Structure 1
């Protein structure tokens, strides 16, 4: 009986320790400490850049066991902003995002593989314009720690490229890659 109580006590301590190391974070979009950006080459001569102004998400981060970490982000595709109203109207049309039919894009991770100190590869399902595919991309931890308001924050950045045609966009421009960049700063809950 004494051995059983000791084993239960050790197991409870281990579970409590795991719970302390793993934390849930809400992405700080209210303070504009996060961004979802894109860029695509314009005629091969320059970069056209833009962002999605409205999105939300959360992540779980466990620095003691990074492989147990996860992230989920939902993006309002109607909030696309390339700083040019006519171009934005075209990018929101059926030629590209078709926001009237697909007003939301999302990413939900399925795995995180650490590759070094503060770096890793994030794999997950990207759903865009009614198409869901698995993507993997490198991420970097920017930092973590106490903030001036009594909270605790962690921040990460990652980027990848997708082909427009893989998501039913662009017609003859479907073979053009678009670079996506996600910068998140989360507030621990």
Structure 2
């Protein structure tokens, strides 16, 4: 029973938003706005060494079980002069699920048909359809999430953390973003173990997601 409940705790990925992260104060906001104005337009790809996707689900009402995925990829087509026109695509390999101290066979169980069904669906994908600017450094990114062969519209809250056009020791443009979100796992065909109404016995349907990413863009232009 404990192993099954823990297994249910690992069911999640990208999704519709939680609360927008607190906005920075005026000086920090001005600094990051100036930073995006100084970076070049073009295609930016996630730096795997500086990108993470973690998720949390409520377990028995006692804790928020937390796990992550190790293999994520994202591409953003970005024009600093028109950030609302940004296009975002992202993918996750569910087989890269990273669990804290998993029991023997636990990862294999989660990759099975009852959970991620990774053999039949080896990729989880998100493709944006709209970006709504909500502040100088914040936006809502709406698109379609496909997991286990099910596609649902979702929205992310995103915060731009800054960026630069590159320099001698790091000659590619770099930008950083934080995103938060929430999905219901039942929307993607994973409803086992959801507590009965009025009970905490199980694992919550709602899954909270946190994404931190730095993306590398066009190379620094030669001087002179």
> What TM bracket, shorter-length normalisation?
0.7 to 0.9
Q: Which residue of 1 aligns with 2:209?
A: 180
**Which one has the largest radius of gyration?**
1
Asked if 1:122 corresponds to 2:141, the answer is yes
Asked if 1:111 corresponds to 2:140, the answer is no
Q: Map 1:1-189; keep pairs closer than 5 Å.
A: 22-29=41-48, 32-86=49-103, 87-145=106-164, 146=166, 148-173=169-194, 176-189=205-218
**Partner deviation per Cα, 1:63-108 (whole Å, 9 max, x = no partner):** 2211110111111111111223334333322222111211110111
| Whole-angstrom distance in 2 between the partners of 1:133 and 1:34 | 24
Unpaired runs of 5+ in structure 1? 1-19
| Whole-angstrom distance in 2 between the partners of 1:151 and 1:101 | 37
Q: Which has the higher contact order (CA 8 A, sep 6+)?
A: 2
Range moving further from structure 2, 124-133 or 179-188: 179-188
SS of the aligned residue for 1:78 comes to: helix
SS of the aligned residue for 1:33 comes to: strand
- Conserved? CA contact 2:142–2:155, under 8 Å: yes
- Conserved? CA contact 1:66–1:113, under 8 Å: no
The count of corresponding residues between Structure 1 and Structure 2 is 168
SS of the aligned residue for 1:38 comes to: strand
- Conserved? CA contact 1:36–1:180, under 8 Å: yes
Hey, which of these two has a bigger chunk of strand by percent? 1
- Conserved? CA contact 1:70–1:110, under 8 Å: yes
**Partner deviation per Cα, 1:33-55 (whole Å, 9 max, x = no partner):** 11121111111111111111112
- Conserved? CA contact 1:27–1:56, under 8 Å: yes
SS of the aligned residue for 1:51 comes to: strand
| Whole-angstrom distance in 2 between the partners of 1:122 and 1:172 | 30
| Whole-angstrom distance in 2 between the partners of 1:64 and 1:35 | 27
Alignment RMSD (CA, Å): 1.8
Hey, which of these two has a bigger chunk of helix by percent? 1
**TM-score for both structures, normalised by structure 1:** 0.82
**TM-score for both structures, normalised by structure 2:** 0.70
